Amino acid sequence: MRDAALRSLVETRARHPEAVLDAARGRQRRSLLGDRGRLMLVAADHPARGGLSVGGRADAMANRADLLDRLMTALDRPGVDGVLGTPDVLEDLLLLGALEKKVVIGSMNRGGIPGTAFEIDDRFTAYDAQAIDTMGFNAGKMLLRIDPTDPASVSTLSGCAEAVSELASRRLMAMIEPFWVRRLSDGRTVNDLRPEAMIRAMAVAQGLGRTSAYSWLKVPVVPDMQRVMEASTLPALLLGGDPAGTPQETYAAWQEALRLPTVRGLVAGRALLYPPGDDVAGAVDTAVGLL
């Protein structure tokens, strides 16, 4: 990001906080799916849960100007439909003029911070349905982690159900990211990515709220993906995540899963914003090509 743009952003935030809502109201909007019927979204809600690491780099996402620069590079590439983020990131992008004619998804529950005693308590600490509607965004995204050993999971279930209903009452998409969670011997939580666990988590997620008419699923690419996706008729987007293998292996897995009937696109963050060699444009273009 140019120094002048960063100085202008900081000055606007300090002197004219009302500019955020003005920018949201004046933004050129677009429908969710558009003519293509597929979605390529960039995710940037990790920092709000203290998730700054990428590929072994503990502080990869710590520099906000660098993150915004990478996001604007990604959003400017042909075929990128929009972004998923928390208020701080999306409002920066609004003030920078980077969200014109883009799909915008507000991230809602960021309370379960990894490494804390309340890690599994994914309560709603960011957007709510009313704020998403007021800002003119397209949808709200929520994380649903179910730990059968932790009573906090039921409050997350309740919060997600209410959010699904509130978004649906405004005809806004509810993007649910479900995981079954298991505990390691040292007490740490990990998402259970076995096909059976993903099927069970999806079964719970799609039943939340007063209606599922506006519900979508956001799911990771796991083994036996075809059987996993047969567990639901809801539209789904693939979760990019922080890949463990090579980019070629990641892209191949995405491409295979994108052929499944309910899969309507991809939501990727760290894999595209911090690729090997830092070629953000090249990584994004490759992902867009898979659609």
pLDDT of residue 194: 96
Tens of pLDDT, residues 11-40: 999 999 999 999 999 999 999 998 889 999
- Per-residue pLDDT reduced to its tens digit, 259-280: 999 999 999 999 999 998 999 9
Q: Which of 277, 239, 257, 175 is nearest to 42 (CA)?
A: 239
> What pLDDT does 34 receive?
83
Q: Please state the rounded mean pLDDT for residues 107-120.
A: 92
pLDDT of residue 56: 80
Mean pLDDT within 106-123:
93
Are 87 and 127 a contacting pair, CB within 8 Å? Answer: yes
Residues 6+ apart with CB under 8 A from 173: 32, 105, 138, 139, 140, 167, 214, 215, 216
> In the prediction, which pLDDT does 246 show?
82
* CATH superfamily assigned to domain 3-290: Aldolase class I (3.20.20.70)
* pLDDT at 14 (0 to 100): 98
pTM of the model: 0.94
Asked if residue 83 lies in contact with residue 93, where contact means CB atoms within 8 angstroms, the answer is: yes
Domain boundaries, the chain: 3-290
Q: State phi, psi for 237 to the nearest 5 degrees.
A: -120, 140
pLDDT bin (cut points 50, 70, 90) of residue 1 is low
pLDDT at position 245: 75
Tell me: the pLDDT tens digits for 144-197?
A: 999 999 998 999 999 999 999 999 999 999 999 999 999 888 878 899 999 999
Residue 233 has pLDDT above 80, yes or no: yes
The residues, any chain, with a CB within 8 Å of residue 219's CB and separated by 6 or more, are 177, 178, 198, 202, 228, 229, 236, 237, 238, 239
pLDDT at 184: 87
